[in-house]
Amino acid sequence: MAVNRIGRQTIKFTNPPSIISTASIVGPKEGEGPLKDYFDFILEDDYFGEKSWEKAESKILREAVKTAIRKAHLTPQDIDYMLAGDLLNQIISTSFAARELRIPFFGLYGACSTMAESMALGSILINGGYADRTVAVTSSHFSSAERQYRFPLELGNQRPPTAQWTVTGAGAMVLAAADTGPYITYVTPGKVVDMGIKDANNMGAAMAPAAVDTIVTHFQDTGFSPGNYDLIATGDLGSIGKEIADDLVQKQGYNITPVHTDCGIEIFDAGQDVHAGGSGCGCSAVVTCGYFYDLLQKGRINRMMLVATGALLSTTSTQQGESIPCIAHAITIERTIPGR
Amino acid sequence: MAVNRIGRQTIKFTNPPSIISTASIVGPKEGEGPLKDYFDFILEDDYFGEKSWEKAESKILREAVKTAIRKAHLTPQDIDYMLAGDLLNQIISTSFAARELRIPFFGLYGACSTMAESMALGSILINGGYADRTVAVTSSHFSSAERQYRFPLELGNQRPPTAQWTVTGAGAMVLAAADTGPYITYVTPGKVVDMGIKDANNMGAAMAPAAVDTIVTHFQDTGFSPGNYDLIATGDLGSIGKEIADDLVQKQGYNITPVHTDCGIEIFDAGQDVHAGGSGCGCSAVVTCGYFYDLLQKGRINRMMLVATGALLSTTSTQQGESIPCIAHAITIERTIPGR
């Protein structure tokens, strides 16, 4: 059996890579939320000096990468590979940013699970001796996502209470073969799970079973239990999906409720009119790169699991009556590891 | 420096994975072309028994995976990870196939470079000891691609002479830690290159500089020259892009013309009215999994490089006046390697 794998589908790094720097850039609404002090830069408006929301999103992603690299006292030439994707069709935010950055590039699509997917592959490249440094990054933008997936904002459509609010923001993370920590120690890539939910305004409920499948598989593969974690953060189930996930995990014999939070719940206050919470690739990216990274560095948590969830639907699949296939990838991050 | 990397961006496998089986499924038009005898299955019509072209494309991808796994005398449970993507928005062909297959899944987007991207990451997982077996797969479908990227077929729009024809088909490849060969020995992941071309009906010209950047980088990183290869196959520059690529590589001191072919040229005959040649993720996938794999197995070639190229545009980026960012990933495949 492969030396870096345990159980059905979990990867255990023999030489865990370190997260040597992070950067997060968010929009004005996220900058008024409870995590505002953890972000590197808060935009004054949704356009960031560009002529379209799509160009703004690409600039946010590009600037997040440049900021993370600068904070590590490096230049883009020092980064071996970039692992990245976003929500826009053909991941244009990412591709256009990669054009400017000139870093060898693997394009990913995992919907809102992309931050975990990029961290997984970025870590795999370093632990495997393929790279010395990689950057993992993803973005989303409320206005470009609404235009593409739902309705033009100009229509003023009402949002149902189960709907989530796409975060405007990008989070970037520089990973390296270094002994500084925090370390990425385990990855449990997910399988696609689809319980038949067709309501694109209730993504949290659709994605919860995928998160549960990955979390339970992680426990089974590793022998860990919720007690091994100070924090298990799904992203982004929102308030409705989080409750469903807690219940479903409980039915499989694990109680994660005491340590479970959700990036979509963390990023906004109840008063910000976001209904079930935040969503979008950028949500788990900025909460992880901003807030959780700070908690780890300050030793307020020592061991966490990010379980980023993605709804792999398209407007075409919805129009053709399909339900929503979902996926979740889990990443274990530890502040210190024995012997290093 | 990372032990499995040489030069700026090339990965050299210390323990090269084998391609233990492949499968290719194509549409009726591809099944009338010069490579018809190399494909596993030729569809009778574009719908493959489904109600939409998109559902048909997903079924083609799924069946290609199942066929490749069956030909290796394995079941989907024997495959550790699936690396895959396609051209449709949110890669729905792939996600819906992954839902049925239940294999842990990394979603990729590299446009028509996706086959090489999936082979690269699938090999990285095996050589790095993360997996015993992976499957790399991608698909495209003429009718779903035209509907999404250009015009509904019902409009009967004329196609300019520089246009290429999206291949209907899927190619899947099972990679394993095995000593059977053919082996994947080197990967040169690409950087995004954009020379300012804005004509979405002239993709070959837009993508040629990206192919050239990756090919020349591969030679510089490894010290190889065109003479080290029996075959260098770009995919899919078509007839116009191939000439441009040959010229641009020549200007950098390498003559690839004697060994250079292009998947988009191989798959159709001049009489099939495809203008500049084939394109789409499925093109390099079926030509590699069908034709080239046969040449390698029969010893008619011993060492080849696949350089799959992708145009990372979207209809939105084109409407906003952007040029076309392109990428190419190179994969070296060898029939035998010393000592094994």
At residue B150, φ and ψ (nearest 5 deg) are -125, -100
Which residues numbered 2-21 in B keep a CB inside 8 Å of some CB on A?
Answer: 2-5, 8-9, 11
Domain boundaries of chain B, sorted by first residue: 5-176, 183-334
Specify the pTM: 0.97
* Candidates B77, B109, B198, B214, partner chain A, best to mutate (most A CBs within 10 A): B109
Integer CA distances (angstroms), A72 to B9, B183, B196, in order: 21, 37, 32
Q: How far is Cα A316 from Cα A301, in angstroms, rounded to an integer?
A: 42
What is the C-alpha separation between B306 and B256, in angstroms, rounded? 13
Q: What would the CATH number be for the domain defined by B5-176?
A: 3.40.47.40
Q: What is the pLDDT of residue A150?
A: 83
pLDDT at A340 over 90: no
B contacts of A90 (beta carbons < 8 Å) = 89, 109, 111, 312-314, 317
**DSSP assignment letter at A226:** G
**Which residue from A327, A310, A89, A152 is spatially nearest to B145, judged by alpha carbons?**
A89
* C-beta atoms of B109 and A124 within 8 A: no
Q: Determine, for residues B312 and A148 on separate chains, whether the beta-carbon distance falls below 8 Å.
A: no
Element (H, E) at B143: helix B142-149
| CB pair distance less than 8 Å for A132 and B2 | yes
In this prediction, residue B313 carries a pLDDT of 92
Which residues of chain B neighbour A95 with C-beta distances below 8 Å?
A: 192, 312, 325, 327
Q: What is the pLDDT of residues A152-185, one digit of tens each?
A: 788 888 888 888 899 999 999 999 999 899 999 9
* Helix, strand or coil, per DSSP, at residue B25: strand
State the pLDDT confidence band at A212, using cuts at 50, 70 and 90.
very high
CB pairs under 8 A between A and B: 196
Name the residue with higher pLDDT: A214 or B160: A214
Question: What does the pLDDT read at residue B338?
Answer: 81
- Fill in the DSSP letter of residue B321: T
Q: Is A235 helix (H, G, I), strand (E, B) or coil?
A: strand
- Same topology for domains B5-176 and B183-334, yes or no? yes
Q: Is A75 helix (H, G, I), strand (E, B) or coil?
A: coil
If you measure CA to CA, which chain A residue comes closest to B116? A106
Exposure string for A205-224, b = 16+ CB within 10 A, e = fewer: bbbbbbbbbbbbbbbbbbeb
pLDDT digits (tens, 9 = 90+) for A38-70: 999 999 999 999 999 999 999 999 999 999 999
Q: How many CB atoms lie within 10 A of CB A132?
A: 18
- Separation in Å, CA of B308 to nearest CA in chain A: 13
A-chain residue closest to B111, CA distance: A90
Whether residue A294 is preceded by a cis peptide bond, meaning omega within 30 degrees of 0, is: no
* Largest separation between any pair of C-alpha atoms in chain B: 58
Task: Mention every residue, 6+ apart, whose C-beta is less than 8 A from residue B241.
Answer: B203, B204, B205, B206, B207, B208, B211, B234, B262, B264, B276, B309
Residues in chain B where the model's pLDDT stays below 70: 1
What is the predicted pLDDT for the residue at B285? 98
- Write out the DSSP string of B243-306: HHHHHHHHHTT---GGGEEEHHHHSS-GGG--TT-EESHHHHHHIIIIIIHHHHHTTS-SEEEE
**Residue B175 and residue A130: Cα distance in Å, rounded?**
18
**Burial tier of A321 (Cβ tally within 10 Å: 0-12, 13-18, 19+):** exposed
Q: Residue B253, Cα to own-chain centre: how many angstroms?
A: 26
Instruction: Report domain B183-334's class.
Output: alpha beta
Chain A CB contacts of B127 under 8 Å are: 128
**CA separation for the pair B184, B120 (Å, rounded):** 9
ipTM of the modeled complex:
0.97
Contacts with A, B 167-186, CB within 8 Å: 177
Q: Which helix (H) or strand (E) holds B214?
A: helix B203-222
Q: Does residue B125 belong to the interface with chain A, where contact is any CB pair within 8 Å? A: yes
Kindly write down the DSSP assignment for every residue of A170-224, as one continuous string.
EEEEEEES-SSSPEEEEEEPPPPB------TT-HHHHHHHHHHHHHHHHHHHH--
Angle made by CA atoms A61, A30, A35, in degrees to the nearest 5: 105
Mean pLDDT of chain A: 95
Q: What is the pLDDT of residue B155?
A: 82
* pLDDT reading at A1 higher than 80: no
